[in-house]
Amino acid sequence: MSRIGSVERKTKETSISLALALDGAGRADVETPVGFLSHMLETIAKHARVDLTVRAAGDVHIDAHHTVEDVGLAFGEALDQALGSRAGIERFGTSLVPLDEALARSVVDLSGRPYIVFESPVDKELLLVTVDFPFALVEEFWKSAAFRGKFNLHVDVVRAKNGHHAAEAVFKSAARALRQAMAVTGTEVPSTKGTLTA
């Protein structure tokens, strides 16, 4: 059974085409107008060990917010498609990832219920990842992904000073937690309800 999702999203703000194969080899073919976002999408592919293709255009003359948010929505929607009934998956995943002084923890439950908790000791609005990419956009991406992907995500930035390090640690830890949760380890739906889609 192929676990593949594909999404086309077009609004007045963005145009996005995204394809996701869960049982991939970590290959990424990504083109977005936001350099750091492209880098992080490649990071997701590598550490979640999925194949990810993204073509995105957006109103970056305003800022990167709409593009980051909408790519997150498309990623979550493709993930939900690819998971299907969610039968046989591990369901839960956790990962703790350091990057120099930064340390991030992500915990995932592919429960079919969207929720996110994102805690950070640094000011998300003021901390910059790059000159035009505030750390707050890291949360926006994962919030969009969790709600469209119908999964529960807890992210804790345990400590950080450098915005780039903090952001990369979050993306790597979330990707690795997803990889663990998406793994096929059985045949039944891992829920006493008998479903993770209703």
| Cα(116)–Cα(147) distance, integer angstroms | 8
| Measured CA distances, 135 to 56, 120, 160, 166 (Å) | 20, 10, 11, 8
- pTM of the model as a whole: 0.96
User: pLDDT of 76-103, one tens digit each?
Assistant: 999 999 999 999 999 999 999 999 999 9
User: pLDDT of 47-76, one tens digit each?
Assistant: 999 999 999 999 999 999 999 999 999 999
Domain edges within the chain: 4-182
Distance from chain centroid for Cα 139: 10
The CATH-assigned architecture of domain 4-182 is 2-Layer Sandwich (3.30)
Say how many Å lie between the first and final Cα of the chain, rounded.
21
